[in-house]
Chain A
Amino acid sequence: MRTELKQGHAHVVCLAGNPNVGKSTVFNRLTGLRQHTGNWTGKTVAPARGLWKREGTTYEVVDLPGVYALSGGTPEERVAAEFLDQESPDCLVVILDATALERTLALALELLPRHENLVLCMNLMDEAERLGLHLNCAALSEALHVPVVPTRADRADSVERLRSVIEAACLRREGEQRCAERPDVGGITTMTAAERMQAASELAGVVCSAKAASRRNWDRLLLGKWTAWPVAVLLLFFVLALTVWGANLPSALLEQLFSGLGTWLSTLLADASPVLQSLLLDGLYGTTAKVISVMLPPMLIFFPLFSVLEDLGLLPRLAFLLDRPFAACGACGRQGLCMCMGCGCNAVGVTGCRIIPDERERLAAILTNALVPCNGRFPTLILLAGILLGQNGQLRPLAAAALLTGFLMLSVAVTMGSTALLRRTILRGGSGTFVLELPPLRRPQLGQLLVRSILDRTLRVLGRAVTVAAPAGILIWTLAHVQMGAETLLPLLARWLNPFAALLGLSGVLLLAFLLSFPANELLLPLTVLIGTAGAALTDGGNPTASLLALGVGPQTALCAAVITLFHWPCSTTVLTVWHETRRLKWTVLSVLFPTAVGCLLCMALHLGFQIFG
């Protein structure tokens, strides 16, 4: 894709607009699958790029981060302003929200004097129609002397006209027949922000004739005094239950498939030396296959579900609910959003902390993000939940999901406590504000959502897991096969760790597995089985629950293991991300030590409790 973008001459088309105006939908429809740098949230600071081709000409589309203005107050605004200054796009498309014209128009007025080839896209026309709004695009076009193209959220082909208008605008610029100097409409070049808003307001009054009918007010249920919390917990439970229940079968199928493939591979390698055969099959292939079959199905269910919640506009509402308790901890509700992202992947959660404007609050959110279990830890937690519930191998999804919800709520409580601790000690002082737009609830674009959540999230996270799983598989195989006296290294290391592990209520095998799964949390389960069985083949589709039970993991150990799974050092990718985000060794080291200390202390307390009362 990169080389494709570099080849030959391409017209650069830039998309700008407020957050929550359906900008990424327009971007996805313009470019289809031909894009890279997917957005996790609308808050990715690096712009996403994509392209389309027509009649031998390439149009490269750059999706700028959503901004309210260009004054440079936020990282997104600086990125957008810098991009416009430095790359001077051939055409600048400003996306307007037909249902909130006034405010989205203010940005258009700010951008109008900055670019001579501007196109306005009046998005969400279908929603405006439903609200009984009548928009006069021709009047807007006449007032501002720029093309105005209406688009709809419910029809994918509605961007066709936008595409041809952009193409025409680009060609016009190429032919140096610059559009006639636009008159300085009402003196917008010299307006202050307040005057611009006033002008936008007046213009919106001309363009939009009717008053909006009220929307169906789901917020009464979602944010109501008595209903909000039960609905939020039920929703969380529902997502987890669906993930646990849905992942069971495909996981088993994948394991069968991989074990079949393993047999086939072993016939291919029949001539190789036994050591090489074992290294490649048991080490490399076995670990990788295990990671994929354990990780892929829950991700394929969890990520699209998460995207649905995101596209519906539920995440800002969660921040709205959580702001009060977070404020009590010296943080803000936006941290709740970062935690949600951390639920998918902690590295993403750490990057997502950019949405927190206050520097100290942001650092506290970064340091505590790993206290939320990421997707890679879910399989382990599900399995441990099974053991805790005494379901040997037979997982009852509802009970497991309920326990998993409990685990998550514990993690939220510990995150809040830790944030409060950090904000009262090393990150004391200065409290930021909390101002957050609650966008209207919108029906998600399901097709687009599926494609994007699979391409951008699932495959990316899986790819990362596999790249670490493969070398880790070789390392572990080596540890399992290098002889030290009568034994191989793995059981030896596990025995060394036994005394310390006992303090935490764990076994040496489990602790070693936790240590070795530093590259990726997804490795934990396969590692435990591997170490426990001292390096026997993994491709036999061994049941991890059975292996754990065979290792003598009872309910008490399982509980301690669950606590350590929730609270321990972040994976290597996350640590690297913390370094990228803070650029300070101090914070990077602390991001490892802090969650580790939390987990160890909790486990020791738990273990002590078991010894006294158990």
Chain B
Amino acid sequence: MSRNMAELRAGERGWVCALRLSPLRAAPLLRLGLFPGTEVQCLLRSPLGDPTAYRFRGTTVAVRRGDAAQIDVRAEPDAHNPVRGEEAPCAQN
């Protein structure tokens, strides 16, 4: 079952399966390496609720809710298209 990235709670992980953003909005995220297959962990929300800090590929990046809601994540890595995240996909999910 896939959810969107904005639905991840602090501490939760997900694996990106699709970016439903316009190319212009997707560009800054892709530049930082948020390709489909990437493992993402939700770190914490800004005190006012938005944006949220996510951790992927060894770095922390702030993303607004509006953008995160357009990014689908699944609970487990895609076995057919594995992309190794900063930590090896583990079986904790």
Q: Which A residues lie at the B interface, using CB under 8 A?
A: 68-69, 71, 73, 99-103, 106, 193-194, 197-198, 201-202, 205, 211-212, 219-220, 223-226, 228-229, 316, 319-321, 323-325, 327, 333, 357, 433-440
A437 near B61 (CB under 8 angstroms)?
yes
Give the segment of B1-9, B29-37, B72-80 that binds chain A. B29-37
A selection of 24 A-B contacts at a CB cut-off of 8 Å is A68-B32, A73-B31, A102-B33, A102-B57, A103-B57, A193-B30, A194-B35, A198-B35, A205-B84, A212-B58, A319-B62, A323-B50, A324-B48, A324-B49, A325-B48, A327-B64, A433-B64, A433-B67, A434-B67, A435-B29, A435-B61, A437-B60, A438-B53, A438-B60
B47 near A225 (CB under 8 angstroms)?
yes
Contacts of B84 in A (CB 8 A): 201-202, 205
Q: Which of B27, B33, B53 contacts A73 (CB 8 A)?
A: B27
Contacts of A99 in B (CB 8 A): 58
B61 near A433 (CB under 8 angstroms)?
no
User: Given that A100-B57, A323-B46, A324-B46 are known contacts, is A438 also in contact with B62, CB under 8 Å in the complex?
Assistant: yes
User: Given that A205-B84, A435-B28 are known contacts, is A103 also in contact with B59, CB under 8 Å in the complex?
Assistant: yes
Q: Does B18 contact A (CB under 8 A)?
A: no
Q: Which of B27, B46, B61 contacts A223 (CB 8 A)?
A: B46
Q: Does B69 contact A (CB under 8 A)?
A: no
B28 near A357 (CB under 8 angstroms)?
yes
Nearest first, the 4 closest Cβ-Cβ pairs linking A and B are A100-B58, A324-B48, A435-B28, A438-B60
Contacts of B27 in A (CB 8 A): 73
B43 near A219 (CB under 8 angstroms)?
yes
A198–B54 CA distance with the chains assembled, in angstroms? 19
Q: Does B12 contact A (CB under 8 A)?
A: no
A99–B58 CA distance with the chains assembled, in angstroms? 7
B58 near A223 (CB under 8 angstroms)?
no
A438 near B61 (CB under 8 angstroms)?
yes
How far in angstroms is the closest Cβ of chain B from A114?
17
Contacts of B86 in A (CB 8 A): 100, 102, 212
Contacts of B67 in A (CB 8 A): 433-435
Contacts of A327 in B (CB 8 A): 50, 64
B47 near A223 (CB under 8 angstroms)?
yes
Q: Which residue of B lies closest to A431 (CB)?
A: B66
Contacts of B35 in A (CB 8 A): 193-194, 197-198
B31 near A69 (CB under 8 angstroms)?
yes
User: Given that A202-B84, A324-B50, A324-B51 are known contacts, is A103 also in contact with B28, CB under 8 Å in the complex?
Assistant: no
A254–B46 CA distance with the chains assembled, in angstroms? 45
Q: Which of A197, A202, A219, A226 contacts B33 (CB 8 A)?
A: A197
Contacts of A205 in B (CB 8 A): 84, 88
Contacts of B47 in A (CB 8 A): 223-226, 228-229, 321
Proximity bits, B34-45, A CB within 8 Å = 1, else 0: 011100000111
How far in angstroms is the closest Cβ of chain B from A417?
17
The A contact surface, by secondary structure, is helix
Q: Does B20 contact A (CB under 8 A)?
A: no
Contacts of A73 in B (CB 8 A): 27-28, 31
A435–B24 CA distance with the chains assembled, in angstroms? 12
Q: Which residue of B lies closest to A194 (CB)?
A: B35
A236–B57 CA distance with the chains assembled, in angstroms? 33
Contacts of A437 in B (CB 8 A): 32, 59-62
Known contacts A73-B31, A198-B35, then 9 further A-B pairs from the complex at CB < 8 Å, ordered by chain A residue: A68-B32, A73-B28, A193-B30, A193-B35, A435-B28, A435-B63, A436-B62, A438-B61, A440-B60
A439–B29 CA distance with the chains assembled, in angstroms? 15
Q: Which of B25, B49, B53, B83 contacts A320 (CB 8 A)?
A: B53
Contacts of A319 in B (CB 8 A): 62
Contacts of A323 in B (CB 8 A): 46, 50-51, 62, 64
A433 near B28 (CB under 8 angstroms)?
yes
A205–B86 CA distance with the chains assembled, in angstroms? 9
User: Given that A201-B84, A225-B47, A323-B64 are known contacts, is A433 also in contact with B58, CB under 8 Å in the complex?
Assistant: no
Contacts of A438 in B (CB 8 A): 53, 60-62
Q: Which residue of A lies closest to B36 (CB)?
A: A194
How far in angstroms is the closest Cβ of chain A from B33?
5
A223–B52 CA distance with the chains assembled, in angstroms? 11
How far in angstroms is the closest Cβ of chain B from A42?
15
Contacts of B63 in A (CB 8 A): 434-435
Contacts of B64 in A (CB 8 A): 323, 327, 433-435
A319–B48 CA distance with the chains assembled, in angstroms? 12
A202–B35 CA distance with the chains assembled, in angstroms? 15
A216–B86 CA distance with the chains assembled, in angstroms? 18
Contacts of B33 in A (CB 8 A): 102-103, 106, 197
Contacts of B29 in A (CB 8 A): 435
A73–B23 CA distance with the chains assembled, in angstroms? 11
Contacts of B50 in A (CB 8 A): 323-324, 327
Q: Which residue of B lies closest to A226 (CB)?
A: B47
How far in angstroms is the closest Cβ of chain A from B91?
15
How far in angstroms is the closest Cβ of chain B from A212?
7
A69–B17 CA distance with the chains assembled, in angstroms? 22
A357–B28 CA distance with the chains assembled, in angstroms? 10
B30 near A320 (CB under 8 angstroms)?
no
How far in angstroms is the closest Cβ of chain B from A215?
10
A228–B37 CA distance with the chains assembled, in angstroms? 33
Contacts of B83 in A (CB 8 A): 197-198, 201
Q: Which residue of A lies closest to B61 (CB)?
A: A437
A333–B47 CA distance with the chains assembled, in angstroms? 14
A212–B60 CA distance with the chains assembled, in angstroms? 14
How far in angstroms is the closest Cβ of chain A from B40?
13
A320–B43 CA distance with the chains assembled, in angstroms? 13
Q: Which residue of B lies closest to A328 (CB)?
A: B48
How far in angstroms is the closest Cβ of chain B from A67?
9
Q: Which residue of A lies closest to B59 (CB)?
A: A100
